[in-house]
Amino acid sequence: MRTPQVTVVGAGSWGTTIASLAACNAPTLLWARRPELAEQITAAHENPDYLAGFALHPDLRATSEIAEAAALADVIIMAVPTHAFRRTLTELAPHARPWIPVVSLSKGLEEGTHKRMTQLIEEELPGHPAGALSGPNLAKELLKGQAAAAVIAMPDHSVAQQLQALVRTTMFRVYTATDVIGVELGGAFKNVIGIAAGMADGLGTGDNTLAAVITRGVAEMTRLGVAMGGDPATFAGLTGLGDAMATCISPLSRNRTLGVEIARGRTAAEITKEWRMVVEGIRAARAARQLAAEFGVDAPIFREVNAVVNEGRTADEAFRGLREIQPATEDKAG
């Protein structure tokens, strides 16, 4: 049997990294919206926009033609931001071959509908198996050759196993799962916890507070994720607690860095206007607050982070608000 052709859609830092890793195992094509970036990736094996100085796999090719990217694919990996996800799927739809798996790398929810990315795949590419690849993964560390782990989640475990072989390497351990809902929600909600952790660091609250923010944030994520259909065990694994830890402690994390800058007196709007990269936690905070209200889940950290990034509250005001909440039971992540 021939080796499947992998297409990664989206040439940001994480999409480029996954494409470079997949090129170790299979012919891989990376779609970039800008022709000049696609040419640089193919010719120089580098993405100067997002990963300057990091060498990509020499066999990785790139294109700016969406029809070419879709038509050649046996597997499509979606690595575009959530706000562009549905639009990009509609561009792909006329060209994608039937029934091929489509995997999301995007850690967030659609603004307004709060739908997961696999739900968008099911709507825009009906009949295609839809899944997610997620975990505590920082692109630059992987390209340096440092070890990392992730989870590929598909409704059909046998499909997950086949896809696992396409993206794993000796330094990138990929586990399989069938809890697509839990994997996606963990990837979205951990961004909100990352902003809270960054605000804690920026305010100089200390490691005790940081540990409390992370663990109580994961408790909120678990309560809400289970209410929405996820498996509670998922939120204690790589795509829940693991991803939250990386996002909360690494200086490479956009969401944590946003929180630090907010604590120093800047607004989310000011910061993101300067940055070229999307900070998914801003949208995720609004979605998490609204979903918590809809499902009747107590989520004070999500509520306070949303008030800061979307409603103008300061980081200091948010932490004062959290201190005023009466602690309840710790049993069952309460």
Side chain identity at 167, as an amino acid letter? V
Interacting residues of 110 by C-beta distance below 8 A, sequence separation 6+: 82, 85, 86, 116, 117, 119, 120
DSSP 264-280: TT--HHHHHHH-SS--H
User: Tokens in use for 91?
Assistant: 């561009």
User: Is the separation of the CB atoms in 258 and 195 below 8 Å?
Assistant: yes
User: Is the separation of the CB atoms in 109 and 82 below 8 Å?
Assistant: yes
DSSP 105-162: ---S--TTT---HHHHHHHHSTTS-EEEEESS--HHHHHTT--EEEEEE-SSHHHHHH
Q: Give the residue numbers marked as catalytic.
A: 190
- Provide the pairing of β-strand 130-134 with 148-153: antiparallel
Helix (H), strand (E) at residue 26: none
Give the strands of the sheet with 6-9, arranged side by side: 61-63, 28-31, 6-9, 75-78, 102-104, 130-134, 148-153, 172-177
**DSSP structure class, residue 234:** G
User: Tokens in use for 279?
Assistant: 């900070």
**DSSP structure class, residue 178:** S
User: Is the separation of the CB atoms in 218 and 240 below 8 Å?
Assistant: yes
